[in-house]
Structure 1
Amino acid sequence: MEKTIIPKGYKSILDVYDTQTAIGFIKRCFEEALTGSLKLKRVSAPLFVDEQSGLNDNLSGSERPVKFDVPALNNNGEIVHSLAKWKRVALKQYDFHVGNGLYADMNAIRRDEELDNLHSIYVDQWDWERVISKEQRTIDYLKETVQDLVNAIAETSSRLHTKYPKVETVIDTKISFITSQELADLYPDLTSKERENAYVKEHPTTFILQIGDLLNHGEPHDKRAPDYDDWTLNGDLLFWHEPLGCAIELSSMGIRVDDQALITQLEKANAKSRLEYPFHQQVLNNELPLTIGGGIGQSRMCMLLLGKAHIGEVQVSLWDEETIDACKDKIFLL
């Protein structure tokens, strides 16, 4: 099965030069909308962290971070996968309080990522995090925050259409919330990705709740690191992407683990050895603020709003020969 899909009759709405300008416009507009909606302040993001800090995102647990030695430190650095844990520490360091938060323009390398229309080894996303109270650690608060995020995306889409009338992507602000177990019950004979496609086709803006824990059939909907999101209070935001005829995940987010959720999830993941890391000790000792946060894919958003068929149309990365050959004369890879 070919991994690169070229939609029949596909032609980019904007040429390569207008695309570049539009990418910058989208990023500026969305940052304005995001910071206003979620009360966030911009901070500088790290490209790498100390491998002994426990701050790097372990993703599903199988991905290998890019490492390099630092002779002056007598230790190794790791290119970040995301800033899921780093942001929580930063909120404490910057002395943020309940109701306020930060966002960072994050760039990363995920060397083991598959290469296809939606995936690249280069990752660019807005990583954001906000301090919450104990009383806000609820599904209802999570849903409210998801709605704020979708409203910011819809505002960006509207401004994009005003500037580029040919771009007609419409974001449905009515969100369909469904748990991963409900989704599995609805489509018991489909894989997790097939379930997403089937459901999101009928509900173009969807948030799948509670990802990471085992479902009734013995497998998780998707793997999720056990030491940042609370698996009972997290989820993925997906939109229907017409050019590819599939669901596209734009954001993974959630309320973060407290001390009890951290212990429970590390036990389930057979990863209690991580409790030795400084970050995990801070969570256990309640030295870090309670937070909600997530990552929002920049290239994914540009793909969605500009109606692009391949992520290589909106970012510069490395591609294998199969991808290059498939896109030749059909899709312009930056």
Structure 2
Amino acid sequence: MSKTIIPTNYQSILNVYDTQTAIGFIKRCFEEAMTGSLKLKRVSAPLFVNGQSGLNDNLSGVERPVRFDVPSLNDDGEVVHSLAKWKRVALKQYDFHPGNGLYADMNAIRRDEIPDNLHSIYVDQWDWERVISEEQRTMDYLKKVVQSLVNAIAETASRLRTKYPNVNISIDTEISFITSQELENLYPDFTPKEREHAYVKEHPTTFILQIGDVLESGQPHDHRAPDYDDWSLNGDLLFWHDTLQCAMELSSMGIRVDDKSLLEQLKKADAEDRMMFDFHQQVANNELPLTIGGGIGQSRMCMLLLGKAHIGEVQVSLWDDETIEACKDKVFLL
């Protein structure tokens, strides 16, 4: 059965041609706003990494990366899930200093994703990372950066409305910050996704803090790899998607692990074997810069700001027959 649901009276605000033009406009506007506020430089990024490097993002730990052999190198490659670890290594190699950072266009294949209105096996996002000082490894600094990103998204929405007056979608810049434990306390009988839906409906711009560690219920709000975000200094940025009447996660981000939090989280995740990788050794030995970073979904931002009902309206991917049938006559899948 398809997990895609198209609202009964849904009609795209823009036609296919104008949608494509608007996607390019959104990406240009947001990059200008984001790089200006966070002082980021664009860099080229890998589509794949060495399978034995430890640089790939393990996500929740169960997703299988796309692997392929490289006969000429007598080695295997892995298509990246994200650039969470690679960016931190790049900041050291490129000799970035506190207050400056980088961003890249990241394209990935997540073969185990279950496609629906918001999910696709193809992932495109802005992956960004910024060098920080020891004094900036605080909750207040994290919130300050989140506010900068929300302001950039709101500015992009405003410029889009000027160019396309019919696209009357605005972003609330007042962020409601709530920890995952506080959210569980509010809705103890709800699933994590149900909690997000209920809370974001009342608080259309929400940042859920501290994701990855076990809550009082004995379960985490959501799974996070233990070797890039510090679970006490991270979170998810969500917006209310009016077209679908649901909460939409647009970004996962956080202050990255230092030597202490890396070892603690690897132990909690029973993943201490990852200390065999060079990346983890460099973090443990304080050989990599302290950083903050995250990923911002490009297709999801376009969905949000254009009021689209399905991610397939703003990106090209593969869809099952049931999804195609559900979208028939209402949604043009690219």
Q: TM-score range by the shorter chain?
A: over 0.9
Amino acid corresponding to residue 280 of structure 2 in structure 1: H
**Structure 1 residue aligned with 2:160:** 160
Cα deviations across residues 18-77 of structure 1 (Å, max 9, x unaligned)? 000000000000000000010000000100000111000000000000000011211100
4+ residue stretches of structure 1 with deviation over 4 A? Answer: none
Cα deviations across residues 289-313 of structure 1 (Å, max 9, x unaligned)? 0000000000000000000000000
Q: Report the alpha carbon displacement of residue 2 of structure 1 after superposing the two structures with TM.
A: 4.4
Matches within 5 A, 1:36-47: 36-47=36-47
Asked if 1 retains the 8 angstrom alpha-carbon contact of 2:91 and 2:102, the reply is yes
Q: TM (normalized to structure 2)?
A: 0.99
**Structure 1 residue aligned with 2:136:** 136
Amino acid corresponding to residue 47 of structure 1 in structure 2: L
**Structure 1 residue aligned with 2:27:** 27
Distance 2:137 2:22 in 1: 37
Cα deviations across residues 190-230 of structure 1 (Å, max 9, x unaligned)? 00000000000000000000000000000000000000000
**Alignment: residue pair count:** 334
Cα deviations across residues 310-334 of structure 1 (Å, max 9, x unaligned)? 0000000000011011111111001
Distance 2:292 2:80 in 1: 20
Asked if 1 retains the 8 angstrom alpha-carbon contact of 2:127 and 2:295, the reply is yes
Distance 1:8 1:67 in 2: 40
Matches within 5 A, 1:23-172: 23-172=23-172
Asked if 1 retains the 8 angstrom alpha-carbon contact of 2:2 and 2:116, the reply is no
Any gaps of 5 or more consecutive residues in structure 1? none
**Structure 1 residue aligned with 2:188:** 188
Distance 1:266 1:71 in 2: 33
Q: TM (normalized to structure 1)?
A: 0.99
Distance 2:54 2:219 in 1: 26
Q: What SS is found at the alignment partner of 2:49?
A: strand
Q: What SS is found at the alignment partner of 1:243?
A: coil
Tell me if 1:267 matches 2:267: yes
Tell me if 1:315 matches 2:310: no
Distance 1:329 1:3 in 2: 17
Any gaps of 5 or more consecutive residues in structure 2? none
Amino acid corresponding to residue 254 of structure 2 in structure 1: G
Alignment RMSD, CA only?
A: 0.6
**Structure 2 residue aligned with 1:290:** 290
Distance 1:281 1:74 in 2: 25
Asked if 1 retains the 8 angstrom alpha-carbon contact of 2:79 and 2:108, the reply is yes
